[in-house]
Every structure is written in structure tokens, then in C-alpha cells.
Structure 1
Amino acid sequence: MTAWNEADVRARTTTNIPPILATTPMAVAQQAPAPVDVSRIMERFQKLRPMEFNGLNKEPLPPAIWIREMEITFSMLECIEDCKIWCATCMLKGKADVWWRSTQPNHIATHPDLKWEKFKEAFFENYFPKIYRERKAMEFMEVTQGFKSILEYQQKFEELFHFVFAHLKTDREREEI
């Protein structure tokens, strides 16, 4: 090794200049995140048999339950943000699917990089109007056992708890607190 080469090597090691290999296409490809295989994610998603959502019925909790089930499924799959809306909207059926197909262009126009939180906000605004959530939250605050059995009281408490739990609040509502 010549004096020049030794000095060059010492300079590189003492000044922490990254080696040239770190900038080669092979090294860059190894550092870059692996591309997302959406079909594989969807296949794994479908195997879990997630809950479908058909819109409102007489029971008020299905929208909250559906969102919670989606989030549990996403967690199990370690689903990336970009796939959440895609997977979830595949589970919208009937009137819920019609709602999403009709509102999706507006949401994409206002939020080109639409994320799960914004989807949830739109979903809850449509299926859990704020006035309804506020009414149920008040009902929760006033729930008492009275002449109910412990089991009846517990069931009423758990039913109303869904309406005041933080995961149902939109970003705007969280800021108001």
C-alpha cells in the first residue's frame, strides 16, 4: 500500500465518510423498504374473514364495532397505512358501498393522500352523526343501576361506553376537549 493510499484509508475511517459501496444500486436496493404486495395483503386479510358492513340497521353499534374489527384485523396483519382503506372498503356492502363510492371522489379531492383516520372521520360523520354520539354520551354519563340487575347495568354501561370512548372521536372533537 502506498503512502497516499494509507492516508486516504485513514482519512475515510477517521472522518466517517461512508464507503462507496453504500451508494451502489445494490446497497441502496437493500436499504429501501420492500415493495408492498397488495394482493398478498388482501389475501391474508380475506383469510381472517373480516366483518362486512352493510349500512345502518336498528342497532346503533355496528358502525363502531365494524371499525374496531377492522383495526384489530389491521393490527394482526401489520397492515400498512396505504392498504387500510383499500381493505376496509372491500368489506363495505350494499348501501355502505354505495355511500363510499359516491363520497370517495370528494374525499380524494380534498385529501389526495387519504389516510385511515380521515376515512374513519367521514364514516362516523355518516353513520354516527355527532348529535347522536353526544346524546349517547350524555346517556352514558347518566346511567345508573337503579332497579336493574348487575348484568343488565353492565350491559347498558358497555353499550353506551362505545359512544364516549376516545376511538370514536374525530380529530376535531379531540381538539375541542
Structure 2
Amino acid sequence: MAQKQYMDLILKSGNVVGSSFSSIIHQQDWSLESFLQHNPNKFSRKCSPDEVDEWLNNVERIYDAKRCVEDKRLTFTEYLLTGEARHWWSNMKMLLEDSNTHISWEDFKDKFYEEYYPDIVRFAKEVEFLQLIQGGMTVSEHTNKFKHFVRFYTMKVDEEWLCRKFENGLRGDLKLVIYSLCIKSLPALVEKAKVLETNMLEAKQQKKQQLKKDRETPSFRSSLSSRRTSYSRPSPSSNYGGVYSQHSGSVGHYEQQGSVGYYNYGGPHLKSACPQSTENKRCYRCRTKGHLEKDCLLGRRATTQNRSVL
């Protein structure tokens, strides 16, 4: 009887040779003991939604790897339910059987998620996926979150849409470069983003090391010291041809530059116009140098004599 079943399967699937034939036989012979050799965890009670999702995904990963048929998936999973979860499924199974509903593996997953992973939590995960950005995470961390939340997105999407979603969530410096590459394969996009991030970090580190090295050089310290000196007001030499230098107790001091000099008494002026200088003063009354006519003693004597006569 078993041999007839094998032959029927071969006829339905066409020309099956070599490994395909072995695979069909392997599916039929895979027992509960073979499944338990992979050490699947049992499920007993309610826990966090992420733990619920992780448990079912781990179990289903074993089924996919061993190409387990759907009917046995349900049977093996029922064996893993214990405690509160076992009682829940017994009641649910009885309700489904009373309604003459054939219980498939997909039916079990739907009911399981309704009980232990309600829609309100799944919808929150979907929103979190749509709002996911890299921020301070590395590309690897961002990728792990992206793969975790994409399972909860209910709309039908293709790989190109996933690439654009992943790309838009990257940091600005990475996105600026990645966007121009127009990559349409998600694994290739993730790998390119990781490589680009590594190169940027290395360049940043090298820049820091070079700056540290430059700071230790004498020329850098000298230039830094010169920039830290106090600000000195520029001298008015470019306007007057002289360089004024003020010293304490020397009001009329000036410095000579070339043949032109000036005092800074009452404001910048030429030496010939300085009111404190006696070299350029000439009295037109007595025809002598050293004073002006208004200060001439001869003029003062004449004024005194005239007053005496009056």
C-alpha cells in the first residue's frame, strides 16, 4: 500500500529522479521523533508578542527546512502546546470541528495569533515599521529591526518597494550616496550600505588621528599661540606716514618714519602744526623764532606803556 502511494506521487509530479524521489520519501518518513531531534521549544502560556512571534517562526523554520507537509505541521505543533496553551487549543479545535471546518495549518496560525498576538499589537508594529528610521543605530541594527517589523506589514509589496523603504530610513549621509545607485535588490542594498558606513567611519577616524598628530607638531602650536594673542589696535601709520607709540608720562611722543613725523597731541597732526613745538614758531613783531606774535614780550611792553600814558 505504501509503495502504491509512492508511485501515485511520482506519477502526479511527472518525471522525478534522483534527489526529488528521495525528498518525497523523506517527507513521508519524517516522524515526530525526527522533528523533536531539532529541540523545538514548547509553548505553555501567554508571553510578550515578540516572543510569541519568535516561537512560531522558529517552529515553522524547522518545517520549511525539512519540507514537512502541512498536516504534520499541525500535528507536531499541537504536541508542543502545554499548560494553558494546550487547554486553549483543545477548546478552539472543538469549536472548529463542530462547525465542520477543516483545520489547516494556516487556520491554526490565524487563531494562534488572534489569541496571543492580537491585531491591535500587530497594527502597532505595522505603524512602527512605516516610521522606522536609522537614527543612531548602525546599518546592521537598522537592518535587523527592518526585517523584524516588515513581517507585520499587511499590504502587498515587491522587493523594489522594500528597497526604497529601507533606503529612505537611512541616515542622510548614507542615503545621499545610496540613492544615486538605484539598487533594486534588498540584500545588495543592505550590503552596500554596510560597506559605505564602514568606509565613512574609517575616514572619520583617520581625520581625527591626523588632527591629533597635527596638534602635536611645533608649527601647529606656534600658529595656535599666535591666534590666541591679544588684539592690538592697528597704528595710524598708513594714514600719516608716522608710527605713534604711546608711553606713560609722554604725551607728545612720536616716532619718525622716513622724513615725516607727527605728534598725537589733541589728535594726529604733522609735526610742523603741533602746538607744543617751538621749532616752527616765528614772531613777526620782533623777527625772532621760538614764539608767536601774540606771545611776544615786545608787544606786551608797548601795551603796558600805552596804559601808563593814559
Partner of 1:120: 109
Asked if 2 retains the 8 angstrom alpha-carbon contact of 1:38 and 1:83, the reply is no
SS at match of 1:61: helix
Partner of 2:53: 64
Deviation of the 1:28 alpha carbon: 5.5
Q: Which residue of the other structure, out of 92, 95, 100, is the alignment partner of 1:106?
A: 95
Deviation of the 1:124 alpha carbon: 1.0
**Which runs of 5 or more structure 1 residues have no equivalent in the other structure?**
1-24, 167-177
Identical positions, percent:
24
**Is the counterpart of residue 41 in structure 1 residue 17 in structure 2?**
no
Distance change (3 Å), C-alpha of 1:126 and 1:30:
closer
**Is the counterpart of residue 86 in structure 1 residue 75 in structure 2?**
yes
Partner of 1:53: 43
The one-letter code matched in structure 1 to 2:89 is W
Asked if 1 retains the 8 angstrom alpha-carbon contact of 2:44 and 2:86, the reply is yes
Distance change (3 Å), C-alpha of 1:153 and 1:103:
same
Partner of 2:123: 134
- What's the TM-score, normalizing by structure 2? 0.38
> 1:13-41 deviations in whole A, cap 9, x for unaligned?
xxxxxxxxxxxx9x956734599999961
Distance change (3 Å), C-alpha of 1:161 and 1:56:
farther
Asked if 2 retains the 8 angstrom alpha-carbon contact of 1:54 and 1:95, the reply is yes
Q: Distance in 2 between matches of 1:161 and 1:56?
A: 23
Distance change (3 Å), C-alpha of 1:105 and 1:149:
same
> 1:43-70 deviations in whole A, cap 9, x for unaligned?
101111112222322x321222122122
Matched positions, count = 139
Asked if 1 retains the 8 angstrom alpha-carbon contact of 2:45 and 2:85, the reply is yes
Distance change (3 Å), C-alpha of 1:144 and 1:125:
same
Q: Distance in 2 between matches of 1:37 and 1:72?
A: 15
Distance change (3 Å), C-alpha of 1:38 and 1:92:
farther
Q: Which residue of the other structure, out of 137, 145, 154, is the alignment partner of 1:149?
A: 137
SS at match of 2:124: helix
Name the larger-Rg structure.
2
Q: How does 1:8-19 map to 2 (within 5 A)?
A: none
Partner of 1:31: 7
Distance change (3 Å), C-alpha of 1:30 and 1:69:
closer
- What's the TM-score, normalizing by structure 1? 0.63
Deviation of the 1:129 alpha carbon: 1.1
